[in-house]
Amino acid sequence: MTYRICLLPGDGIGPEVITQAEKVLKALGLQFEFEVGDIGFGAYKKHGTPLPESTMESILKSDATLFGAVTTPPDIPGYFSPVVRMRQALDLYANIRPCRSFDHPASRPGIDLVVVRENTEDLYSGVERIEDDGNRAIGEMIITRRASERVSRKAFELARAEGRHKVTIVHKANVLRQTCGLFRRVALEVASDYPGITADEMLVDTCAMELVRAPGQFDVIVTTNLFGDILSDEASMLVGGLGVAYSGNIGVKAAVFEPVHGSAPTLAGKHTANPIATFLSAVMLLQYIGEAAVAGRLRQAVLDCIAQQAVTPDLGGTLTTEQVTDRVLSAFEIVPERK
């Protein structure tokens, strides 16, 4: 079986980490056909748009997509976020960001949580306007029953599939009574379909505080787009930071896996970008296409490198991006298949 994989390198360190991930994927003993798509500021300079139609077509005809990162250029009229547009246009409705402790001094122990973030609406709907001669800016926070329902169901299904016991519904319904109120109501309705899983709820400000105070209490967090964006970055810092934070954008017609970090322009070309977040995104991709055993071996190889301090400077190591890749590849060769 040959899997079609779309690679979207993007800008800054994006191409560097995607090149490393491609090397790793090619060494796993599976059959892949790769197609590379343009996205980001580089794509804008080449095609006049940061998200060309050809890229969307590549994603749609692939079994899964691995994306690097893009740079947001300074004010260019008409420029839009290709990441937000891609998520909305492909209806990648659930953004899944696992956050587990690593065996490394930069990671706190005892953390194993997943943030499931609604990915298509909220304040990221793109409905913004300027009034009063530029003195008043308005952005609409759009929450629908449909999006709230399906992302909540995704969170409870994930909990069930992974043998997790609790889903925390995070909102700000005490103040945002209509928008967050609807999200909260629908999520609690969905929860009633899963009697074996405890559903609790928490205000977003409390959640931000509790993530720092006692992160071990969380299992699955389900929340709206903006809150999930912020909380998942916060959670990533508990276990080592952006260099190891990975994610999947899951829809019905497509799935795009990506490191949580951005294009880190100051690191580009310096061979110090940590490729581990992209490798772990590739692990999620392998699980998604049904290659759980290979995914498990690759994950273990990455965890072994982290535990042995075979890492880049952001994690206190001395290896280059390419040397980390070599270590993961040699570790992969000796990791046995999991039963």
Ligand X SMILES: NC(=O)c1ccc[n+]([C@@H]2O[C@H](COP(=O)([O-])OP(=O)(O)OC[C@H]3O[C@@H](n4cnc5c(N)ncnc54)[C@H](O)[C@@H]3O)[C@@H](O)[C@H]2O)c1
Only one of the segments 28-36, 87-95, 169-177, 265-273 lies at the binding site for ligand X (rule: CB under 6 A); that segment is: 265-273
Token readout for 188 is 């609690």
The beta-carbon contacts of 185-192 under 8 Å, at least 24 apart in sequence, are: 186/145, 186/148, 186/149, 186/152, 187/148, 187/152, 187/222, 189/149, 190/149, 190/152, 190/153, 190/156, 191/152, 191/156, 191/167
The residue within the footprint of ligand X, chosen from 171, 261, 297, 327 (CB under 6 A), is: 261
Contact positions with ligand X (CB under 6 A) in 217-256: 242-243
Closest approach, Cβ 234 to ligand X, in A, equals 14
**83 lies in the binding site for ligand X (CB under 6 A):** yes
Residues labelled as active-site residues? 124, 172, 205, 229, 233
β-strands 220-223, 64-69: how paired?
Answer: unpaired
Nearer to ligand X, 113 or 264 (CB): 264
The residue within the footprint of ligand X, chosen from 18, 59, 69, 173 (CB under 6 A), is: 69
Nearer to ligand X, 187 or 250 (CB): 250
Nearer to ligand X, 55 or 71 (CB): 71
Q: How far apart are CA 32 and CA 2, in angstroms?
A: 5
The residue within the footprint of ligand X, chosen from 6, 21, 64, 70 (CB under 6 A), is: 70
Only one of the segments 125-133, 142-150, 156-164, 269-277 lies at the binding site for ligand X (rule: CB under 6 A); that segment is: 269-277
Nearer to ligand X, 153 or 261 (CB): 261
As a whole number of Å, the CA-based R_g of the chain is: 20
Give buried/exposed letters for 217-243 (b at 16+ CB in 10 A, else e): ebbbbbbbbbbbbebbbbbbbbbbbbb
Residues that bind ligand X (CB under 6 A): 13, 69-72, 83, 242-243, 261-267, 273-274, 277, 314
